[in-house]
Structure 1
Amino acid sequence: MIKIIWIIRALFYKPFFGRFDMISYLGKPIIIFGIKKIYVGKNVRIFPHVRLEAHGENAKITISDDVAIAQNVHITSGANLIIGKASTILANVFITNIDHDYEEIGVHILKQNYVIKDTQIGDNCYIGIGACIQAGTILGNQCIVGANSVVRGKFSDYCVIAGVPAKIIKKYDLERKVWRRTNPDGSYKENI
């Protein structure tokens, strides 16, 4: 029953978004800034207490088909931020493509310019609870991010990433068709 109410809420919100395909749903409460710059694909599940913010003229948030976003997730964008198809984002995650400049001494950081870098989450990624995906992060397809990890950088397809700062700890070996432990640079630790 609750999901039916969330679908009805989505129908109400639909004309205000840049795009909102059905059947997707929105939990309540939700905080949205720059709603016309947010594009939601088909079968997207957005649970309660999510905050979506698109700041500035060039801001855009694209949430692709079949994405699930759990409670208390904060996504903020000042440019192009993309979440790929069939990705899952667990609770208490922060995703951004905005950093605050801090070069001017004596000026409040929030009053300084944004430093914006594209952030992208590939298809079929899994973002663990409490993770932070920082500006400029590019995750390949089917990456797994460990709980409470702080992620910045570019990561290829089929990686398990964990830690503070996050590093690759496993990769899928396409030749051998198994997940293998890696060194922080992504090279395999052991020879099988």
Structure 2
Amino acid sequence: MLKGIQKALFGLTTGFTKLTLKLMGVKFGKNLTAFLVTTIESPQNVTIGNNVWMSKNVALYAANGITIGNDVVIAKDVSFISADHGFKDKSKKINQQGMETSASPITIGNDVWIGEKAIILKAVNVGGGAVIGAGAVVTKDVPAYAVVAGNPAKIIAYRQ
């Protein structure tokens, strides 16, 4: 009986999240499994492919766009940050400088696994088949099938 209740709650949670994403303007493909996404900024700039699993507390700051490919697994507490706060003009307070919008979007290829508490920063392209280790801070492009970890993320292996 407990498994039945868990399955029902799972269905309600993912169904509610998908409905919320759709109402917000997020574009997503078939078979999205998404738990409670905590933050979506600029949802119209988010595109999610088919067969994607998003755990809870995923933050999508999509001022400059975020594209997530097919067959991607995203663990909990992952952040995607596609822009920075402006800070260069010292004659203005930081909170008056808005967001920098000159950065390129974040692109995640197909068949990627992003570990818990990873942070993917602006203008990063993650190649297909890559693995992002838990807690990694990704500041540069990740080649296809690379396994990266650390802060900043560095290649530690390649999938065979």
Q: TM-score range, shorter-chain basis? A: 0.7 to 0.9
* Alpha-carbon separation, structure 2, partners of 1:15 and 1:51: 14
> Any stretches of 5+ residues in structure 1 without a counterpart?
17-34, 173-177, 179-192
CA RMSD after TM alignment: 2.1
- 1:140-192 deviations in whole A, cap 9, x for unaligned? 001101111110111210000111111111124xxxxx3xxxxxxxxxxxxxx
Write out aligned runs for 1:47-86 (5 A): 47-54=35-42, 60-86=45-71
SS in 1 for 2:16: helix
Q: Distance in 1 between matches of 2:13 and 2:156?
A: 38
Q: Does 1:162 align with 2:126?
A: no
TM-score (normalised: structure 1) = 0.71
Q: Which runs of 4+ in 1 moved over 4 A?
A: 10-15
Distance 2:94 2:56 in 1: 28
Between Structure 1 and Structure 2, the one with more strand by share is 1
Letter in 2 for 1:123: N
- CA distance 1:65–1:11, change in 2 (3 Å): closer
1:23 is matched with which residue? none
Q: CA deviation at 1:10?
A: 5.8
1:134 matched residue in structure 2? 121
Alignment of 1:103 onto 2:49: no
Shift of 1:6: 3.6
Identity %: 25
Residue 33 of structure 2 aligns with which residue? 45
Residues 1:5 and 2:16 are matched in the alignment = no
Aligned to 1:119: 106
Report the structure number with the largest CA radius of gyration.
1
- Corresponding letter in the other structure for 1:131: A
Partner of 1:148: 135
Distance 1:141 1:122 in 2: 4
Preserved contact between residue 13 and residue 36 of structure 2 (Cα < 8 Å): no
TM-score normalised by L of structure 2: 0.84
Count the aligned residue pairs. Answer: 151
Secondary structure of the 1:3 match is: helix
Q: In structure 2, how many angstroms separate the alpha carbons of the residues matched to 1:91 and 1:113?
A: 28
Task: Tell me by how many angstroms 1:51 deviates.
Answer: 1.9
Name stretches of at least 5 consecutive residues in structure 2 with no aligned partner: 1-7
